[in-house]
Structure 1
Amino acid sequence: MKRLLAFIAALVLLGAMPAAAAQSDNGGAAGKRTNATWFNDAKTPGADPYVRFDEASGYYYAYSTEGADDGYHFGIYRSPDLATWEHLPGGALRADDAKNWAHDWYWAPEVYFNAKTGLYFLFYAGRMNTRVAENFKYADFEEPSKVGVAVSRSPAGPFRDIAAEPIDYFPYDPAYHDVNLIMDKAQKKPPPTLAAGEKAPLGTYIPFIDPNVFFDDDGRVYLYFSRNAYRNWVWDTDLGKYVEESNIYAVELTADWWNDPTGRTMPAIGPRYRNANRAPGEDARKDGFTPILSYAGDQQPWENAHVDDYAKSGGQKKDRRWAEGSTTFKTYPGHGKKPVYYLTYSANNFENEFYGVGYAVADSPLGPWKKSAANPVLSQDPAKGRYSTGHGSVVASPDGRAQYYVHHGRPSTVDDRKIYTSLLSVDPAAKGLAISASTADEPMPSGVAPFEVRADRRALIGPQGRPAATSVTVTTADGAAFDLANPLNRVAARLWPPSAGTVQVTGSRIAVTPSKPGAAVLTVTYQRARAAGGCFDVTQGRGHPVAVSVPVIAW
């Protein structure tokens, strides 16, 4: 009888509390309005992040060059809001995969989902140390990198290599004078003159990294990639010397792999590229490619941060340029105008604070592409404590109303790379693109709210002096749960009346220890962190707190 009376009393207390505290406004258009904010805290390790929104789970998944547990390649993180990231155990690709063809330099993972087959495809770059001569002609080829593909039925993996070899693609540059063959073993100092370099034999195979697949709405599929700088010494007329460069190229893929419901078909290059650079009478495989971006084709001085590194380092580093980490997407200006294709890319060395992002536009996937005069559109900002910004991917808010560029950066020049999210805006009519990089509080991405807080116990009942606990879950409009161990968001709990006992919050677990017999109400409220420090209660709709209340009964 005492327990029943106490339970009734708790219900009375619950009804007497302000409505906003007893039940949050979680539905309807009004519920989408929220005071919730987010900011880049630069706490989540990550490099070369590729982010996709998974509609089935409501989570964003980020795939990173770094961050995998031992025994795996490529870290996987998930987030409900593009800010509060949760590291998933393991990684995308098992290191002991029976079909593993690469041996190191596992870089730049990207994942694509086919809703018709339910398959997720992981494209990644890796370096091989066996069969090097078969792929690059010379067994001592320094950077024998290629692209592999793995498959999974879950965005969380693990992914399994489709084949025990990379994509069947042998890009070959027949016009390149292979000056590496006339350089010393260190391979850092090229010939002093163009005439001397042109004495080197013609032709080299191209090592390639940083895959990015673009699916055009006409059904055609394109693979963009970065040609490794190695074995690409380019004569710079203005500087009067050779500079080793990475450039961005593309090749069209067939769609058989994409349409195979079993996930056993490797991507293949389009027929017109196969052996396109093989001379008549030759037997060796020599495939073609389409040049997309190069410094010579569109010179921009901001890409020259490392062209004098050889002298500055006392001969320890090469004079180099980079164009890498590309992402391609398409927009429509409207009113019957032709679509505009955008390609973001990163330049300069990723280890250096001058790493930044530029973009180019074109009227077709294969160009010609023109770099923007506004470049770089993302770069270091010491005033905001942000350096080495680059190599990201473009993803929309849950409702598609806004776009973001998720990339890596460093909070200082000596820190490791972390994951950052920046608002991206596009003006197709003017062929413009801007990236608003911020470390301040920003509005929640549209479509994340309304939020809901749920407790796994409808009531906490027990003797005084003994803890009773419940777990709580905070979810987005799409049902994705927040990691309440992440300091960017948390729950706060209080008892009413306060004299009824004590409350302890550990992540998502709330423990109440009643101090006396009777009834009380536990209210759990969702909170977010501010960039300047401290936390605030999240509200939505008409200013109602995002909260849940649980009766507490003690005897």
Structure 2
Amino acid sequence: MIRYLFILLVLSFASVSCYRAEAENDQPKNPLDVPFGDPYVLYDKASDKYYMYGTGGVDNGFMVYSSNDLKDWKKEGTAYSNDQENAWGTKDFWAPEVYAHKGKYYMFYSSHWKDNPNNELENYRIGVAEADSPLGPFIDRSSGPIFDPGYPIIDANLYFADNGKIYLYYSRCCYKHAVDSEISTWAKEKGMYDEIEESWIYGVELASDFSRVVGEPVLLLRPPVSLDDKQSEWESRSVTSGEVNRRWSEGSYLFKEGDTYYMMYSANYFGGENYAVGYATATHPLGPFEKSANNPILQKNTQDGGIVTGTGHNSLVKDRNGATWCVYHGRTNKTGDQRLAFIDRITLDESGNLRVEGPTVELKD
């Protein structure tokens, strides 16, 4: 009996030691071998696995990768394709997010809407597809987008509130959305651009069956109007560097901690080196939101001798051990222009300030 108890103690100690070792060495090697922009990770309790979705990897659809530990990822194949009867999108399939809900899986994504009587160059809307498995196949629930606000929209994100309400967040595209601001005036005076287009983040309640929105969308975040605004410098870098005549507020991700709602968002050109992430806080899912004085909390590190640029469009995932990770895309000067997925720890200090512990990089030989 004593021998039996001793063996159990040894095994228990070994198990705890292994767990601690894993917890101390669980930083994935960035960038991951996953060629995604706009990465989103779902932890699925039913299969006890992680699934990653993102922009790229397949034409007119979305790929899915799986992992047991957030480090090593297996390419599973196509999760969604527009080669189906109900498909409403024709091209530019972007930013998928997948949610487990009432025994099903729902993919929210952006695409170019085929209903385009005015032949708009950017005719983007948001749709939802359903599947029985995180691997798909995801089938469009209707032959059109969820709703039409009258302007192009991308980057869907959902929040399930404690009171049962569901909120949809999205970004109005820059396309044909010229906005007057002190940055716009500055750019005109410099002879750089005739106008500056902007994208803005909105929120709206979503029907419980995901079929429609409830009420009118609410403007939540937009680029700064004043040059004196503390956010103006970092959110305007794509303009001030001469990269493009657009300023973005996009890629929103909402979560709640205590009584505070945190909305993470990306600014600047997604294809450039200045893409970066900030956040804002509110006491209600529909705001008003106040941007953090610590922004940006994730950006290129080349100014500090690093090799990572273009960090943005993030999501968060909590692992099975309770740690929270920031998932985003970026580039390195060794891997080239291809956007790759990164995963770094994100923490919240006692004052309620978010901090991303990255970008980290450990390139394979």
If the length of structure 1 is used for normalisation, what is the TM-score?
Answer: 0.58
**Equivalent residue of 1:33, what SS?**
helix
Query: What is the rounded CA distance, in whole Å, between the counterparts of 2:363 and 2:26 in structure 1?
Result: 12
Q: Which residue of 2 aligns with 1:397?
A: 319
Aligned residues: 339
Q: Does 1:132 align with 2:130?
A: no
Q: Does 1:304 align with 2:293?
A: no
Q: Does 1:63 align with 2:53?
A: yes
Structure 1 residues 38 and 296, CA gap change in structure 2 (3 angstroms): closer
Whether the aligned pair in 2 keeps the contact of 1:25 and 1:31 (CA below 8 Å) is no
CA shift digits 1:148-174 (9 cap, x unpaired):
10000100111000111111x232xxx
Whether the aligned pair in 2 keeps the contact of 1:67 and 1:76 (CA below 8 Å) is no
The one-letter code matched in structure 2 to 1:330 is K
Deviation at 1:141, TM superposition (A): 2.2
Whether the aligned pair in 1 keeps the contact of 2:62 and 2:81 (CA below 8 Å) is no
Q: Which residue of 2 aligns with 1:450?
A: none
**Equivalent residue of 1:142, what SS?**
coil
Structure 1 residues 225 and 532, CA gap change in structure 2 (3 angstroms): closer
Give % identity. 37
Q: Which residue of 2 aligns with 1:149?
A: 128
Whether the aligned pair in 1 keeps the contact of 2:30 and 2:363 (CA below 8 Å) is no
* 1:322 corresponds to which of 248, 258, 262: 248
The one-letter code matched in structure 2 to 1:292 is L
Whether the aligned pair in 2 keeps the contact of 1:308 and 1:319 (CA below 8 Å) is no
The one-letter code matched in structure 2 to 1:419 is A
Deviation at 1:31, TM superposition (A): 4.0
Query: What is the rounded CA distance, in whole Å, between the counterparts of 1:26 and 1:223 in structure 2?
Result: 46
Q: Does 1:74 align with 2:62?
A: yes
Q: Does 1:229 align with 2:174?
A: yes
Query: What is the rounded CA distance, in whole Å, between the counterparts of 1:222 and 1:156 in structure 2?
Result: 25
Deviation at 1:58, TM superposition (A): 1.6
CA shift digits 1:472-491 (9 cap, x unpaired):
xxxxxxxxxxxxxxxxxxxx
Query: What is the rounded CA distance, in whole Å, between the counterparts of 1:144 and 1:109 in structure 2?
Result: 17
Q: Does 1:208 align with 2:134?
A: no
* 1:170 corresponds to which of 148, 155, 163: 148
The one-letter code matched in structure 2 to 1:254 is A
**Equivalent residue of 2:338, what SS?**
coil
Deviation at 1:97, TM superposition (A): 1.1
1:492-531 correspondence to structure 2 within 5 Å? 531=362
Deviation at 1:236, TM superposition (A): 1.4
The one-letter code matched in structure 1 to 2:293 is A
Whether the aligned pair in 1 keeps the contact of 2:224 and 2:232 (CA below 8 Å) is no
Whether the aligned pair in 2 keeps the contact of 1:214 and 1:221 (CA below 8 Å) is yes
* 1:357 corresponds to which of 265, 277, 287: 277
Unaligned runs of 5+ in 2: 1-6, 189-194
Query: What is the rounded CA distance, in whole Å, between the counterparts of 1:51 and 1:434 in structure 2?
Result: 19
Structure 1 residues 24 and 389, CA gap change in structure 2 (3 angstroms): farther
Deviation at 1:33, TM superposition (A): 2.3
Query: What is the rounded CA distance, in whole Å, between the counterparts of 2:312 and 2:212 in structure 1?
Result: 29
**Equivalent residue of 2:234, what SS?**
helix
1:435-454 correspondence to structure 2 within 5 Å? 435-439=356-360
Query: What is the rounded CA distance, in whole Å, between the counterparts of 1:399 and 1:37 in structure 2?
Result: 11
Q: Does 1:367 align with 2:287?
A: yes
1:448-467 correspondence to structure 2 within 5 Å? none
The one-letter code matched in structure 1 to 2:223 is Y
Query: What is the rounded CA distance, in whole Å, between the counterparts of 2:158 and 2:110 in structure 1?
Result: 13
* 1:219 corresponds to which of 164, 167, 182: 164
Q: Does 1:102 align with 2:89?
A: yes
Deviation at 1:207, TM superposition (A): 0.9
Q: Does 1:290 align with 2:235?
A: no
Deviation at 1:87, TM superposition (A): 1.0
Deviation at 1:29, TM superposition (A): 3.6
CA shift digits 1:309-335 (9 cap, x unpaired):
7xx57xxxx511011111000011xxx
Q: Does 1:48 align with 2:42?
A: no
* 2:211 corresponds to which of 242, 250, 267: 267
The one-letter code matched in structure 2 to 1:227 is R
Query: What is the rounded CA distance, in whole Å, between the counterparts of 1:393 and 1:324 in structure 2?
Result: 12
Structure 1 residues 78 and 532, CA gap change in structure 2 (3 angstroms): closer
**Equivalent residue of 2:108, what SS?**
strand
Higher RCO by CA contacts (8 Å cutoff, separation 6 or greater): 1
The one-letter code matched in structure 2 to 1:307 is V
Deviation at 1:367, TM superposition (A): 0.7
The one-letter code matched in structure 1 to 2:112 is R
The one-letter code matched in structure 2 to 1:109 is P
| Structure 1: 4+ residue segments shifted above 6 A | 23-27
Structure 1 residues 426 and 370, CA gap change in structure 2 (3 angstroms): same
Whether the aligned pair in 2 keeps the contact of 1:384 and 1:439 (CA below 8 Å) is no
Q: Which residue of 1 aligns with 2:191?
A: none
Deviation at 1:436, TM superposition (A): 0.5
Query: What is the rounded CA distance, in whole Å, between the counterparts of 2:198 and 2:353 in structure 1?
Result: 27
Q: Which residue of 2 aligns with 1:331?
A: 257
Deviation at 1:301, TM superposition (A): 1.3
* 2:346 corresponds to which of 424, 435, 454: 424
Query: What is the rounded CA distance, in whole Å, between the counterparts of 1:397 and 1:374 in structure 2?
Result: 26
Deviation at 1:366, TM superposition (A): 0.7
Q: Does 1:385 align with 2:307?
A: yes
Structure whose alpha-carbon radius of gyration is higher: 1
Unaligned runs of 5+ in 1: 1-18, 134-138, 172-204, 258-265, 274-288, 333-338, 441-530, 535-555
Q: Which residue of 1 aligns with 2:203?
A: 250
Q: Which residue of 2 aligns with 1:407?
A: 328
Query: What is the rounded CA distance, in whole Å, between the counterparts of 2:211 and 2:254 in structure 1?
Result: 19
CA shift digits 1:30-70 (9 cap, x unpaired):
442225444334232111011110112121111011123x6
Query: What is the rounded CA distance, in whole Å, between the counterparts of 1:532 and 1:347 in structure 2?
Result: 26
Query: What is the rounded CA distance, in whole Å, between the counterparts of 2:347 and 2:34 in structure 1?
Result: 24
Query: What is the rounded CA distance, in whole Å, between the counterparts of 1:394 and 1:58 in structure 2?
Result: 17
Query: What is the rounded CA distance, in whole Å, between the counterparts of 1:219 and 1:331 in structure 2?
Result: 17
Whether the aligned pair in 2 keeps the contact of 1:39 and 1:438 (CA below 8 Å) is no
Query: What is the rounded CA distance, in whole Å, between the counterparts of 1:267 and 1:532 in structure 2?
Result: 44
The one-letter code matched in structure 2 to 1:149 is V
